[in-house]
Amino acid sequence: MAIVHFESVPFRDIYGDKNGVIDGDFNEQSLSEHLIEYWVSYVECHHCPRGNTCKFAIPHHKWEWKKLEIQCGVKSEFIKNFVALTFDEYLEAENHVQERLLSATFYLSEYAMISEQQIGWTIDDEWLKNLGTYGKAFLGNIVHLREKLTYAAQDLSYIPNLYSRKPILLVEGQSEKAFIDKLRESHNSWFTDLRTEVYGGNGNAHPRRIQMRLDKYVEDGYTCYMQGDKDGNEKGSFERLIKHNTVEEKNTFLFDFDFESAIPRKLLFLALQNLDLLLDVDIKAFLMQIDHESSICTQIKSVFDVNLEPYKVPLADEIGWIFNNSEFHWYQDEDGFMEETELGRFLDFVIKMK
């Protein structure tokens, strides 16, 4: 029988505070029993909103409306199952990994128990009515449970065999986010679960602020990916972030100029006309008067006297809408869209994030 040894490993009490340590040798069963002893309170199940449906509730031998006082079966069973499935991870692990795994067990078992209780309350019409005006506030407060999962994710991120870090894409501006958000509406699995955040604008792109934000994402269990513009201030910031191991160089993508310039010219022209811009310009004239040597926004302002700044987000949204059109099979394009265009290479970067 496998035995795990703990040597003064910090240990959370029933309130989640690290006020003690765990020492000694444990097998799978004795470890579960130890955690249940410290972390699971005794309750009279008839006070729980799930008391009448929970398989762990034991009827009272005398009073029909009561249940026996026991340690919460939901939390206890979760701990037993989680320890059974993760016990191998404790073996030969260093103290700090054992500490993280114990902490994750605590927070996930708390989540299992509290979410079960809150589900019971939310489907009890009579109980909600008795809350009066506080009822809707109670429903809203359910989201506070996410803190348990956030803490668990922070702990599990230190255990490679147990947790896969979720990718998060940090983009330079609202245009890039609008484009990705529109692609998400296609319900394509590449984008539906992708979290995208903007780090630029309003002074947020200061290197120190970016470092702090990314450090927090890494702490919360994410793998950070970043997009920027080579002609902006991001290149130097990226180099510092890579140097500090906050983001890997392979997880960064820099447009030569900006998002708008990465859009293939014919596609850009179509989107601009869909936005009622350049309606008096012929496609051939458009293609002849612009090049790939500078930002397309600068060129359109200079040649056609149109300022694209107010239209950047609607333009990105329009490009995303075109991509979502079932007749535009951009990912199967025989002209090599994904390889030959900068926007295609960016999409390939996004799709391969993991």
Per the CB < 8 A criterion, the answer to whether 147 and 108 are in contact is no
CA 219 to chain centre: 12
Per the CB < 8 A criterion, the answer to whether 318 and 308 are in contact is no
Least confident of 53-57, 134-138, 200-204: 200-204
Model confidence band, residue 326 (pLDDT cutoffs 50, 70, 90): low
- Section 324-347 average pLDDT: 75
Closest CA to 33 of 1, 80, 78, 87: 80
Model confidence band, residue 327 (pLDDT cutoffs 50, 70, 90): low
Per the CB < 8 A criterion, the answer to whether 48 and 35 are in contact is no
> Ranked by mean pLDDT, which of 119-123, 261-265, 289-293 comes out on top?
261-265
Least confident of 71-85, 153-167, 301-315: 153-167
Model confidence band, residue 328 (pLDDT cutoffs 50, 70, 90): low
Does position 267 have pLDDT exceeding 60, yes or no? yes
Does position 131 have pLDDT exceeding 70, yes or no? yes
Does position 251 have pLDDT exceeding 80, yes or no? yes
> pTM, whole model, 2 decimals?
0.76
Structure token pair of residue 100: 């993280």
* pLDDT of amino acid 36: 95
Does position 348 have pLDDT exceeding 70, yes or no? yes
Distance, in Å, from the CA atom of 88 to the CA atom of 98, rounded to the nearest integer, reads 11
* pLDDT of amino acid 246: 78
Least confident of 185-194, 220-229, 291-300, 312-321: 185-194
Interval 145-157: pLDDT, tens? 899 999 999 899 8
Structure token pair of residue 200: 């630029």
Per the CB < 8 A criterion, the answer to whether 308 and 297 are in contact is yes
CA 128 to chain centre: 31
- Section 88-117 average pLDDT: 92
Does position 6 have pLDDT exceeding 90, yes or no? yes
> Mean pLDDT for the chain?
85
* pLDDT of amino acid 10: 94
* pLDDT of amino acid 113: 92
Model confidence band, residue 121 (pLDDT cutoffs 50, 70, 90): confident
Interval 234-243: pLDDT, tens? 556 677 777 7
Per the CB < 8 A criterion, the answer to whether 270 and 278 are in contact is no
Interval 172-220: pLDDT, tens? 889 999 999 998 887 777 788 888 989 875 555 567 778 888 888 888 8
Structure token pair of residue 192: 């539906």
* pLDDT of amino acid 339: 78
> Ranked by mean pLDDT, which of 93-107, 115-129, 206-220, 340-354 comes out on top?
93-107
Cα first-last separation, the chain:
37
Q: What is the domain partition of the chain in residue ranges?
A: 4-156, 166-351
Closest CA to 194 of 215, 167, 171, 213: 167
